[in-house]
């Protein structure tokens, strides 16, 4: 038995925001996280978002707006996303199972705010901004600030996440997304890394973006590592240094835990590998 007392499926955003204004309803997107967690946690009123057409991907001159209800499967096959946001596409492909990817949404992954959410590190590398709409207001919050803690965000009870706006990176940028887990499929991330290397014409790294999931209490950019990489030429030694720095940051921020003796060398090696993969251009150029 799911603890649902009321179910509403509005056909327009206006109607949905009117219902949400009461502050009593839980927005239901794919439900792949929400429905299993709606057992035995007290009564809920569900607001089904599937009638709002929030699953579209729109390209503007400078950015790409992904509807919050786009499913992971749609992110894997959408021509705009796979071309301009390959990290997001790859991250989405590694989520859960086929059945979960067919149903689970980008907005749900972000609002659920699990520290190991796969799409979040990819979004951070694209300076993604969450668009939050309520009956009387509309605001934009960077995804990095939107997620305030493990399973916590700054969304209000009357607000709806309608889309996420991503900035494509300047060319040429080499990217890589690596996920570490116990097995290949149906896998909760132990660690995930999204890497972008923006190259200058002479083979040096002009700038870098490196985001980590399941490493810190909240997924975040590792700007310390990005600064280390900027202006340097790609080399095994540089990437090893970057890995070591990332491991240091993790221990400093997340503290020494039972998993630290494992995670410290593994994070260092994984980042080194992700950087090497990106630099090789094998993963894909954006």
Q: Binding another protein by CB under 8 A: which of 23, 185, 202, 258?
A: 185
Binding of residue 232 to another protein (CB under 8 A): no
Answer for which of 12, 58, 99, 259 binds another protein (CB under 8 A) is 99
Inter-CA distances, 125 with 33, 121, 141, 222, Å: 24, 6, 15, 10
Q: Which of 14, 22, 98, 148 binds another protein (CB under 8 A)?
A: 98
CB of 45 vs another protein, minimal distance in Å: 9
> Which residues, in sequence order, are bridge partners of residue 142?
129
Closest separation in Å from C-beta 39 to another protein? 8
Candidates 10, 16, 27, 31: give the one binding another protein (CB under 8 A).
31
Query: Minimal distance in Å, beta carbon 145 to another protein?
Result: 30
Q: How far is the CB of 186 from another protein (least distance, A)?
A: 6
- For the chain, strand residue ranges (E) read 4-8, 25-28, 44-48, 57-59, 64-67, 129-133, 138-142, 147-149, 152-153, 160-166, 173-180, 191-199, 205-213, 220-221
> Is 26 an interacting residue with respect to another protein (CB under 8 A)?
no
Close Cβ partners of 118 (under 8 Å, ≥ 6 residues apart) = 91, 92, 94, 95, 109, 179, 189, 192, 213
Measuring CA to CA, how many Å separate 148 from each of 95, 99, 113, 132, 140?
A: 22, 29, 9, 15, 15
The reply on whether position 256 binds another protein by CB under 8 A is no
Q: Does residue number 48 form part of the binding site for another protein (CB under 8 A)?
A: yes
State how far the Cα of 157 lies from the Cα of 173, in Å rounded to an integer: 39
Rounded distance between C-alpha atoms, residue 37 and residue 45, angstroms: 14
60 binds another protein (CB under 8 A): no
11 burial (CB, 10 Å; 0-12 / 13-18 / 19+) is: exposed
163 forms part of the interface with another protein (CB under 8 A): no
Please state, in angstroms and as integers, the Cα–Cα distance from residue 227 to each residue in 143, 153, 232, 245, 284, following that order: 21, 28, 10, 11, 23
Of 11 and 149, nearer to another protein (C-beta) is: 11
Q: Is 21 in the site for another protein (CB under 8 A)?
A: no
Q: Does the protein bind another protein through residue 35 (CB under 8 A)?
A: yes
Least CB distance to another protein at residue 120 (A): 20
36 lies in the site for another protein, by CB under 8 A:
yes
CB 24 → another protein: shortest distance, Å? Answer: 14
Binder to another protein among 60, 61, 62, 184 (CB under 8 A)?
184
103 in contact with another protein (CB under 8 A)? yes
How many Å apart are CA 148 and CA 267, to the nearest integer?
23
Looking at the Cβ atoms of 103 and 209, the one nearer to another protein is: 103
Q: Give me the residues that bind another protein (CB under 8 A), please.
A: 1-7, 9, 28, 30-32, 35-36, 46, 48, 50, 73, 96-100, 102-103, 184-186
């Amino acid at each position: 038995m799911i603890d649902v007392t009321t179910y509403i499926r509005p056909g327009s955003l206006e109607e949905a925001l009117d219902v949400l204004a009461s502050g009593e309803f839980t927005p239901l997107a794919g439900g792949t996280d929400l429905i299993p967690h709606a057992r035995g946690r007290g009564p809920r009123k569900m607001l089904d978002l599937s009638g709002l057409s929030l699953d579209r991907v729109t390209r503007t001159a400078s950015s790409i707006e992904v509807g919050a209800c786009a499913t992971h499967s749609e992110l894997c096959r959408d021509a705009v996303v796979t071309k301009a946001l390959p990290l997001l596409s790859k991250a989405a492909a590694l989520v859960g199972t086929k059945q979960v990817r067919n149903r689970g949404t980008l907005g749900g992954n972000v609002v659920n705010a699990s520290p190991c959410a796969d799409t979040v590190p990819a979004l951070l590398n694209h300076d993604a901004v969450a668009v939050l709409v309520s009956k009387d207001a509309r605001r934009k919050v960077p995804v990095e600030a939107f997620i305030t803690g493990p399973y916590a965000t700054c969304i209000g009870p009357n607000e709806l996440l309608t889309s996420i706006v991503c900035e494509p990176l300047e060319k040429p940028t080499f990217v890589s997304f690596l996920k570490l887990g116990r097995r290949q499929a149906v896998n909760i991330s132990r660690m995930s890394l999204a890497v972008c290397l923006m190259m200058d014409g002479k083979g040096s790294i002009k700038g870098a973006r490196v985001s980590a999931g399941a490493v810190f209490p909240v997924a975040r950019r590792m700007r310390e590592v990005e600064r280390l990489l900027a202006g340097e030429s790609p080399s095994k030694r540089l990437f090893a240094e970057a890995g070591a720095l990332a491991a240091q940051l993790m221990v400093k921020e997340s503290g020494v835990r039972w998993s630290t003796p494992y995670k410290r060398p593994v994070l260092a090696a994984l980042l080194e590998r992700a950087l090497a993969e990106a630099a090789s251009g094998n993963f894909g150029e954006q």
